[in-house]
Structure 1
């Protein structure tokens, strides 16, 4: 019964409620939670058991389900929030840019060895948690903003009219980001590394924008936040100011805490990568100064707290030294697994997702370094999920 409520909560109401949408006006592929957004394998040998795509709740669905849980079971708000989070019953926005079929001038391929061409802005998502205007114009979805630093940011309460919720939302509502990227490199290079991610000099990085506090009045004493390219501040990539001029700071090497995905090397064929960043991710780099007390907990020197359940034990139940080493190796193996599939080795800790604030904008950049390396971008899609 509860599963049916989660899938179709509005059917349990005797009135038709309007659907709240996160879709800005315009022709860009910039949409809110829609059932069937995620694809399936399409195999269906029986007419009696059709494959139904995962249901994608809207903002209104999430609000209704939480209210139903509260009214039907008299659950405390903290438990209701936990149930919804465990069920991943979150609304989301979806932003997609397709470059296939465009002319070279219209494409956003990054080319190494050219200062202007090796860092290409691809797209930006709608402000996190918003389901009502203000929105950036659809044309601004793929237009690079000027390099403005952050001066003064809004308070969460300033966005109350934009979140379509009767209660104040969380300061950090983001729960998951799914990046889907179809791309490839130039298809030639030194022999020996074909199809691998090591020594790849074409990749993608995540960026972050936040709106500088600017307000407009309707003439009746009501002020509204302003969201446009001129008011956006860029937190990542960093913005440096030299006198009166502000510039993006693009390092030569990939930033491992921002790298979404590298291309396979020496490959002419585009490959699709689906990269999921979750607020529950907890893969952290081992640190040389890790120290532990007798209970296996990290001390003030920092480092990783090893999972005692991963430690080995002898037949008499006593912990063995090999078990402790195995726990450390397991942490290292998790980090290595990220590198093996072309991800940034510091992107598995969930910090980026957990630190996103209400109204934040996620961006994607294509990168290439050194002459001859080209990052050919065919399609980029970003789904951002948040909790109500």
Structure 2
């Protein structure tokens, strides 16, 4: 959330609470309003800290490391931090308002996975000239117990992909060069899930991972396509939001080569993993993967 929106959140919320809180004395209502303002200023302080790292150096990190962070917005360092803030707010506010405050502030724990190693995928490495190789797998998401109980639901809010890649730099139709049309190197996202634990057995061998499918029976979602016949590496940032949340980045396969991830976030569950698969199809096509990063934001 931007600087200009943080402090009005506290003021507006407080005014609404004072005006419409149906029960409680005036003193109680003022106390709740002050608590809301305090929380808003906490978010403001965290925002200022994240955007002015030189004034708040962290132990074990250089100022350069912090200032070069590609995602400077503040996020709780662990789910416990988010739980503590949530429990504090629930002492004074209804759950619906607490959820709104935390979501508006984007105060979400996150899981980040990065691979910064060159990986070259040749279509010809597959017998049918249709190569597929996992280039990144995230750690498992928190288990249900860590999210609040056996029946807790994982509420992923956003998944952000950053990919630096290019193809072999030649081939295809001349009219498609430099565009996303006629390109046969791309990336897909996969949801990996453990097979269910057999009933009546406390200990069992490691359960295999399987690819989760959507209602259409598809287990892979297009993330990004490389530009056709372009040897220069390019950085693509793709953001998928939870259903109902707006996103500033458009998804148009012809215009920017990205997929919209429809239904992907809604299928994610506790202990799932996300895999990024690099693809190359037809003889001569090569997917040169420079780096891949996945950041998953979720609410508690």
Q: Decide: shared fold, TM above 0.5.
A: yes
Q: Please say which of residues 369-378 and 121-130 is displaced more in the overlay.
A: 121-130
Aligned residue number for residue 259 of structure 1: 222
Matches within 5 A, 1:245-256: none
Q: For residues 87 and 112 of structure 1, what CA distance do their matches in structure 2 show?
A: 48
2: CA distance, partners of 1:92 / 1:77: 22
Supply the distance in 1 between the matched residues of 2:245 and 2:39 (Cα, whole angstroms): 30
Equivalent residue for 1:370?
Answer: 282
Verify the 8 A CA contact 2:141 2:270 in the aligned structure 1.
Answer: yes
2:157 to 159, 162, 175: 175
Partners of 2:137 and 2:273 within 8 A in 1: yes
For 1:123 and 1:365, the matched residues in 2 are separated by: 7
Q: Secondary structure at the match of 2:174?
A: coil
What stretches of structure 2 of length at least 5 have no aligned partner?
A: 1-37, 47-64
- Alignment CA distance shift 1:362-1:214 (3 Å): same
- Tell me if the contact between 1:109 and 1:376 (Cα under 8 Å) persists in the aligned partners: yes
CA contact (8 A) 1:181 1:272 kept: yes
Give CA-to-partner distance per residue, 1:256-311, whole Å, 9 cap, x none: 9710000011111111111101103679xxxxxxxxxxxxxxxxxxxxxxxxxxxx
Distance 2:245 2:43 in 1: 28
Give the number of aligned pairs: 238
Q: Paired residue for 1:54, among 51, 56, 73? A: 73
Cα distance, 1:70–1:57 mapped onto 2, change above 3 Å? same
Tell me the TM-score normalized by structure 2.
0.68
CA distance in 2, matches of 1:62, 1:366: 34
Q: TM-score, normalised by structure 1?
A: 0.53
Rounded to whole Å, the distance in 2 between the matches of 1:84 and 1:169 is: 21
Question: Residues 64 and 169 (structure 1 numbering): CA distance in 2 closer, same or farther, change over 3 Å?
Answer: farther
1 CA distance for matches of 2:239 and 2:149?
29
Change in Cα spacing, 1:76 to 1:115, as seen in structure 2 (3 Å) is: farther
Corresponding residue number in structure 1 for 2:238: 275
Secondary structure of 2:139's match? coil
Stretches of 4+ aligned residues off by more than 4 angstroms: 34-38, 165-169, 223-226
Q: Which residue does the alignment assign to 1:308?
A: none
- Is residue 113–residue 371 contact of structure 1 (8 Å, CA) maintained in 2? no
Taking only aligned residues, the RMSD between alpha carbons, in angstroms, comes to 3.5
Q: Distance in 2 between matches of 1:214 and 1:167?
A: 18
Q: Which residue of 2 aligns with 1:214?
A: 197
* More helix by percentage: 2
**Distance change (3 Å), C-alpha of 1:373 and 1:166:** closer
Superposition pairs for residues 1-388 of structure 1, below 5 Å? Answer: 1-6=38-43, 38-39=69-70, 53-58=72-77, 59-71=79-91, 74-100=92-118, 107-112=119-124, 114-115=126-127, 118-130=131-143, 159-160=144-145, 163=146, 165-166=147-148, 170-189=152-171, 190-214=173-197, 223=202, 228=206, 230-235=207-212, 258-280=221-243, 337-344=252-259, 347=260, 349=262, 351-388=263-300
Cα pair distance change 1:67/1:361, threshold 3 Å: same
Secondary structure of the residue aligned to 1:199 is coil
Deviations 1:1-44, CA, capped at 9 Å, x for gaps: 434423668xxxxxxxxxxxxxxxxxxxxxxxx9878427xxxx
**Is the 8 Å Cα contact of residues 110 and 119 (structure 1) preserved in structure 2?**
no
Distance in structure 1 (CA, Å) of the matches to 2:180 and 2:280? 14
